[in-house]
Amino acid sequence: MIRRRDFVLAALPFAVAALAGRARASELPPKRLPAQAQSVTSPQLLLGGDRGSPAGRWGSLLAPELERAFGHGQVVSTRMTVGQDGVTAANLFDTQTPPDGTTALAVPGAALVAALSGAPRIHFDYTRWLPLFFSLLSPVVIGRAQLHHNLENFMRDRPVRIAVSTLTGIELPTVLGMTLFGLRPIPVPGLASVTDAITALRDNQVDVIQILDPQGSAETRTAIEALSHDGYPALFTLTDSVALDIGGQHVPCMHDVLLRENHSALSTLLYGAWTALAGAASLDIGLVLPMLTPPPLVAEWRHATDIAIDGADIRTMAGSTGRRLLDAEACTASYRQMAGDVTSIMALRRWLSTHLPDWRMG
């Protein structure tokens, strides 16, 4: 007669084997469910400005090209916003746009300049955007002939009046840049248009002007040539994004002029801030997505954008108006420059807090 204890002992090896089998089964990887394919649907361009702004003009070019690039009958809608500097659109983009791959922001460099200056109306962080493409310009700074001959000696401790739209507007890199040569800048606000700035220079109301888009139209090119002929030469461009020749002479970029005239300024924190400002001001338009957009949707947008900016209409426009187009991969260096570093940006804001009260008093 088999006793109970003997039966349990005999069955024990089989129980252990069964448990070991379960353990091995639990170590197998779980069966993965097929990933749901993601695709951009109902794409929209949020434009940093109205119809007459740089973003508005780019929107009318980009939308049909993106529709062709996305294919599958996609319709790319556009949404315009108030203002010319893109700050309103950038605020909406960061605070109200979900990262679902539906909306891309077309933003001009003026919004980035405003952010760098620490303007209180800024509620966005452009360093957290994902660039799809950039269109870059080379803004030019024009002044009196005496400034052209020897910037350092002429401007040392001398007040220089600079035409600006607002005290912290798109001309801020020119105001700060001149400071690096040792001058005492006096911004003259209210001169936002090219015509107003040129008239003020000719009427001796200002000494220096900045023209953001020197090759943007035949009228602007003719006006700059006339200034050069009349004794108001180009001093430098803010960047070397696009080569600029005036009157058959190449216009150097500010870095090269500063290296020659006051090279010690290149090692200062304010020069670091100026580099970020100059890069931002040179941004004609940037097309970006929110940071947390799913990678497959980012890839689809980038592919479509690469096709769009390679279209004949956009390439022709860029070539004839002095624009340099960068795809997403090529944007990296320019984007890093525009972001700046915290120490330099804080130095810029301290510099502004010191001078803004006097500038506001006139």
| DSSP per residue, 222-260 | HHHHHHHHTT--EEEES--SS--EETTEEPPBHHHHHHH
User: Which CA distances in Å does 288 have to 219, 234, 283?
Assistant: 31, 33, 13
Q: For tokens 């990262």, what's the residue?
A: 99
Residue 291 per-residue DSSP state: T
Secondary structure class of 52 (helix, strand, coil): coil
Q: What is the mean pLDDT of each run of 10 residues along the chain (362 residues)?
A: 44 45 43 53 95 93 96 93 93 96 97 97 96 98 77 68 97 96 94 97 97 96 96 95 93 94 93 98 98 96 97 95 96 95 97 96 80
SS3 105: strand
C-alpha 59/C-alpha 45 separation (Å) is 7
Q: What is the dihedral of CA 324, 326, 134, 217, to 10 degrees?
A: 20
Could you tell me the pTM of the whole model?
Answer: 0.87
Distance from C-alpha of 268 to C-alpha of 8, rounded to nearest angstrom: 85
Alpha helical stretches, state H, the chain: 4-27, 54-70, 87-96, 109-117, 145-149, 151-155, 172-179, 194-202, 218-229, 254-261, 269-281, 295-309, 312-320, 332-339, 342-361
Domains and their CATH numbers in the chain = 44-136+283-327 (3.40.190.150), 140-279 (3.40.190.10)
Spatial contact of 231 and 146, defined as CB atoms under 8 Å apart: no
CA angle 270, 258, 269 (to 5 degrees): 15
Residue in the structure block whose two tokens are 């030469």: 233
For 187, half-sphere exposure in the C-beta direction (CA atoms, 13 angstrom radius) is 28
